[in-house]
Amino acid sequence: MIEAFLLAMRQLQTKKVRTLLILLGISVGVAAVVGVTSLGEGIRVNAVEEIEKSHDLTLIEVSPGVSNGNIILITESKVRAVREYGSVVAPYVKDAYVTPNKTYFEVNGISAEYMDAKNLQLEAGMWLEEGTYQIVLGSDIGEKFSKIEGVEIGNAIDARIRLYGEEGRAIDKDITFMIAGRLKPTGTDTDDQAFIDMNIARELTGKDVYDGIMVKLDKSGQAPAVRTAIEKLGLTCYSAQDEIDSVNKIMNAVTLVLAFFSSISLIVGGLMIINTMIVSVYERTHEIGITKAIGASESDIIRLFLSECIIIGVLGGILGDLLGVIFSILIDTVGRPMLIAQLGIADFEHLTVINIQILAAGFLISLVISVIAGIYPAWRGAKLDPVKALRQL
């Protein structure tokens, strides 16, 4: 087999310019695919990194589940079951309140565990004391209150909650909270939420179930297993991994489509190979006749031509990967500053990412296309009638 390649190499050397042109054709196609894929991959990696930066991957947010149209509530026994899995398990309730000035805000009734699980940090004031009507505000809602309601830490704030009685009759309840503290901004939902003691919240609403559970894990690696366990209880889970998964899914699809369109240039490369090989078979007709007479079988002839194609495929793959890397660096150096300037987005490290899979795919595409393109010409060579071939000079 090695000798077949050496012989094929010899053939390619005798038509250097032609070989070089095919190599260029196929490798430009590979480079386009590699470059585009690296761009897709780069965007994906950046998006995932962005999510990982702003989200806690060790946190699972559990909410009531739905099964066959029935809502599965988070009861005490469910909470007990969930406690098996997390290092911190914090059930909470969630209600909407409104101020006399018609500012609606979300109030979570929480325990100290919740603060741990979500890693809430105070910016000013103090944490709420259990069993009191103290309230801690998220940073945005805190700001709103000080602007609209004119209340600061240490002030009281009136709020009303609407509850529904037995017959669906609305009952409004008025409460006065004492603002105990304000949280640091987090860039998440927390900024728009206020927090009170869970027992007080449940007393106010008369709820005997929870609206959610925060489950904090020691390691993010545990997340998938814990999720499935909790989902088995009939509850719904959400974690940042969901967003990463959907980003991955979308970006993979986008990259695939882009790669598909850029691979059209590979068809041109493939046609170039078919054309060149057919010409080569035609030029070597007499030689093929002799080769058959001295004992080459049809498969020997096919092997001779396919060896040439394999060499073209390998060289085209290597060259294509190299060009692809250059192409990708080009996109990065030109495209990244432009994107940052145009979109005004925060600086990020790389717009394109090259990994071994992309390079391997580029190489394989070149090899596969070269071999497929060689099959028909090789078959034609093998099927040549030796007598006719020998007559032709």
Chain contacts with another protein (rule: CB under 8 A): 3, 10-11, 14, 286-287, 289-298, 300, 386-387, 390, 393
| Phi-psi category of residue 154: left, alpha or beta, with phi > 0 → left and psi -120 to 50 → alpha | left
CA-to-CA distance for 163 and 175, rounded, in angstroms? Answer: 13
The answer to whether 89 touches 82, Cβ cutoff 8 Å, is yes
Nearer to another protein, 201 or 382 (CB): 382
Q: Which is nearer to another protein, 199 or 297 (CB)?
A: 297
**Pairing status of strand 170-183 against strand 70-72:** unpaired
Least CB distance to another protein at residue 14 (A): 5
Residue 366 C-beta: closest distance to another protein, Å: 25
Q: Is the Cβ of residue 294 or residue 341 nearer to another protein in the bound state?
A: 294
Task: Give least dist CB 284 to another protein, A.
Answer: 9
Residue (of 47, 26, 43) closest to 324 by Cα position: 26
Q: Which residues pair with 196 in a beta bridge?
A: 109, 135
Helix, strand or coil, per DSSP, at residue 347: coil
Shortest distance, CB of residue 381 to another protein, whole angstroms? 14
Collapsing DSSP to helix, strand or coil, 47 comes out as helix
**Closest alpha carbon to 30 in 357, 322, 320:** 320
Tokens 């192409």 — which residue? 327
Nearer to another protein, 148 or 290 (CB): 290
Between 353 and 384, CB nearer to another protein: 384
In the bound state with another protein, the residue whose beta carbon lies nearer, of 1 and 346, is 1
Least separation in angstroms between CB 285 and another protein: 12
Q: Which of 25, 17, 194, 32 is nearest to 105 (CA)?
A: 194
Phi and psi at residue 241, to the nearest 5°: -60, -30
Provide the minimum distance between the beta carbon of 309 and another protein in the complex, in angstroms, as a whole number. 17
**Tally of CB atoms within 10 A around 90:** 22
